[in-house]
């Protein structure tokens, strides 16, 4: 018998597997609206100008390719803490936050899962229904059990507020609950400030441990406003975890630059937590990749580059919102049955279209249009050339 004979084939990844299928599709008119990567009007995923400038400066500076500290470069950690929790935040000043630079937000979620399992001895993580297709896989890989809480109401295309609150109030003490800070993936439906207040209060009362996935900071209304969930948990004096990422807001997808933050009650606990996080990182990937974090630090250390980053981030946000409007109008013009105006209210990169898995499959088979099976559309992938064919194809499949 061959050594690998018993290895069974795994299914393709529900999101990244689609990019692979898209690349292999010979249809010249194919449209990829699957993976959450920003595209500009020309269909390209641009390198931000501030990032190009930072890379020029880095290339011109004699540097080193030596290892970073296990938890990352102090400069980078300072910047990522300030963005997530707010400059001068008391929890930062009093050293109550243990932070590690992780390979992207996904790396941060996995370190969080390992920390929960190995250092807190907790077993169950509750995720929203629906949630990002990789959340369950990451936490299962960390040997955690998963359950779901209601989140989305397909009737109203909005938040199932009552359903969510009722289940949160019933979750057993000490369980872990995963939240999306903003731009909920895949629905684009976010709790408002009052909802976050209620959620934080319940988590505090029920002694739940929130894990906040903060992958889209700056894509909803701005990088400060988008931290509303972080502020709510902080104001309740809670212990919680945050996984943040620069993939989207700096466009540094392939550089894998994110962080995992543990907010503790005091500096002593945070320092012990950090020592354990370092063990988890060291035994997993040893220490983080440096390039992306050097770019982030270079941009945020320089007032002009920082200003440019904020403008470019705003540019991405504004374009996505404009495309939302155009998409709703074009669907109506193409005669697609139904009211799609809810797409205007959704936030972030995605539109949860309500298209069924059968229609998604039909769009792919007949038109080489790639969406995630849940009906999630990457709005940033729509442009003036493909919006017409896209909406006609949807009209055809729904007609
Ligand atoms: C997505 O949801 O498409 C992105 O977060 C990319 C990914 O890794 O799945």
Residue 120 has what pLDDT? 95
Q: Is the CB of 35 under 6 A from ligand 1?
A: yes
Read off the pTM: 0.96
- The catalytically annotated residue of 114, 190, 213, 255 is 213
Instruction: Give yes or no for residue 213 having a pLDDT over 90.
Output: yes
Probe residue for ligand 1, chosen from 12, 15, 216 as the CB with the greatest number of ligand atoms within 8 Å: 15
Query: Considering only CA atoms, which of 334, 327, 343, 326 is closest in space to residue 398?
Result: 334
Is residue 250 domain-resident? Answer: yes
Query: Distance between CA 304 and CA 357 in Å, rounded?
Result: 46
Instruction: Give yes or no for residue 399 having a pLDDT over 90.
Output: no
Q: Which domain holds residue 210?
A: 55-304
Is 248 considered catalytic here? yes
Is there a single domain that holds both residue 184 and residue 327? no
Is there a single domain that holds both residue 85 and residue 37? no
Residue 132 has what pLDDT? 96
- The catalytically annotated residue of 196, 223, 248, 309 is 248
Residue 104: band (very low, low, confident or very high) from pLDDT cuts 50, 70, 90: very high
Name the closest-CA residue to atom 9, ligand 1. 15
Is residue 309 domain-resident? Answer: no
Is residue 3 domain-resident? Answer: no
Residue 365 has what pLDDT? 97
Ligand 1 atom nearest 36 alpha carbon: 3
Probe residue for ligand 1, chosen from 36, 216, 257 as the CB with the greatest number of ligand atoms within 8 Å: 36
Q: Count CB-CB contacts under 10 A for residue 104.
A: 25
First to last CA, the chain: 53
Is 13 considered catalytic here? no
* DSSP letter string, 141-202: HTT-EEEEEE-EETTTTEE-HHHHHHHHTTSPTT-EEEEESSS-TTT-----HHHHHHHHHH
- pLDDT tens per residue across span 299-332: 999 999 999 999 999 999 999 999 999 999 999 9
Tell me the pLDDT of the chain averaged across its residues.
Answer: 97
Residue at which a domain ends, from 238, 270, 304: 304
Is there a single domain that holds both residue 40 and residue 106? no
Is residue 227 domain-resident? Answer: yes
Query: Distance between CA 35 and CA 13 in Å, rounded?
Result: 11
Residue at which a domain ends, from 304, 324, 339: 304
Residue 122 has what pLDDT? 83
- pLDDT tens per residue across span 231-277: 999 999 999 999 999 999 999 999 999 999 999 999 999 999 999 99
Residue at which a domain ends, from 283, 304, 325: 304
Is there a single domain that holds both residue 238 and residue 383? no
Is there a single domain that holds both residue 117 and residue 188? yes
Angle separating helix axes 267-282 and 104-119, nearest 10 degrees: 110
**3-state DSSP assignment of residue 350:** strand
Is residue 7 domain-resident? Answer: no
**What spacing in Å lies between the alpha carbon of 14 and ligand 1's midpoint?**
10
Is there a single domain that holds both residue 128 and residue 242? yes
Is there a single domain that holds both residue 190 and residue 92? yes
Both tokens assigned to 249: 């807001």
Is there a single domain that holds both residue 23 and residue 168? no
- The number of distinct structural domains making up the chain is 2
Is 213 considered catalytic here? yes
Residue 63: band (very low, low, confident or very high) from pLDDT cuts 50, 70, 90: confident
Residue showing tokens 């941009």: 299
In contact, 288 and 108? CB cutoff 8 Å: no
Is there a single domain that holds both residue 226 and residue 353? no
- Give the domain CATH number at 210: 3.40.640.10
- Give the domain CATH number at 379: 3.90.1150.10
**What spacing in Å lies between the alpha carbon of 36 and ligand 1's midpoint?**
5
Is there a single domain that holds both residue 238 and residue 342? no
Q: Count CB-CB contacts under 10 A for residue 305.
A: 20
Is residue 11 domain-resident? Answer: no
**3-state DSSP assignment of residue 98:** strand
Residue 295: band (very low, low, confident or very high) from pLDDT cuts 50, 70, 90: very high
Is residue 1 domain-resident? Answer: no
Is there a single domain that holds both residue 250 and residue 157? yes
Is there a single domain that holds both residue 123 and residue 242? yes
């Amino acid at each position: 018998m061959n050594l690998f004979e018993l290895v069974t084939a795994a299914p393709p990844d529900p999101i990244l597997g689609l990019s692979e299928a898209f690349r292999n599709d010979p249809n010249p008119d194919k449209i990829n609206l699957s993976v959450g990567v920003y595209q500009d009007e020309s269909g390209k995923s641009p390198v931000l100008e501030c990032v190009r400038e930072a890379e020029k400066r880095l290339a011109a500076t004699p540097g080193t390719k030596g290892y970073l500290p296990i938890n990352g470069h102090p400069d980078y950690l300072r910047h990522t803490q300030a963005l997530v929790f707010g400059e001068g935040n008391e929890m930062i000043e009093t050293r109550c936050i243990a932070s590690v630079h992780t390979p992207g937000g996904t790396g941060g979620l996995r370190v969080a899962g390992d920390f929960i399992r190995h250092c807190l001895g907790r077993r169950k993580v509750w995720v929203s229904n629906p949630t990002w297709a990789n959340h369950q896989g990451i936490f299962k890989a960390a040997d955690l059990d998963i359950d779901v809480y209601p989140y989305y109401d397909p009737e109203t295309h909005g938040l199932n507020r009552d359903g969510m609150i009722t289940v949160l109030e019933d979750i057993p003490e000490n369980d872990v609950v995963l939240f999306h800070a903003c731009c909920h993936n895949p629905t684009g439906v976010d709790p408002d400030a009052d909802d976050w207040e209620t959620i934080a209060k319940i988590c505090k009362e029920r002694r739940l441990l929130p894990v906040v996935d903060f992958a889209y900071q700056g894509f909803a209304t701005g990088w400060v406003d988008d931290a509303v969930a972080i502020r709510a948990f902080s104001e309740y004096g809670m212990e919680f975890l945050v996984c943040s990422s620069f993939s989207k807001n700096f466009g540094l997808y392939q550089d894998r630059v994110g962080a995992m933050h543990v907010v503790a009650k005091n500096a002593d606990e945070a320092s012990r937590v950090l020592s354990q996080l370092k063990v988890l990182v060291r035994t997993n990937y040893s220490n983080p990749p440096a390039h992306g974090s050097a770019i982030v630090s270079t941009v945020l250390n320089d007032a002009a580059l920082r200003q440019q980053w904020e403008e470019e981030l705003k540019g991405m946000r504004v374009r996505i919102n404009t495309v939302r409007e155009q998409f709703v109008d074009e669907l109506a013009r193409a005669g697609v049955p139904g009211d799609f105006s809810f797409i205007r209210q959704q936030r972030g990169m995605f539109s949860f279209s309500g298209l069924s898995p059968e229609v998604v499959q039909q769009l792919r088979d007949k038109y080489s249009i790639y969406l995630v099976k849940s009906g999630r559309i990457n709005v940033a992938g729509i442009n003036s050339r493909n919006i017409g064919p896209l909406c006609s194809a949807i009209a055809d499949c729904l007609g």
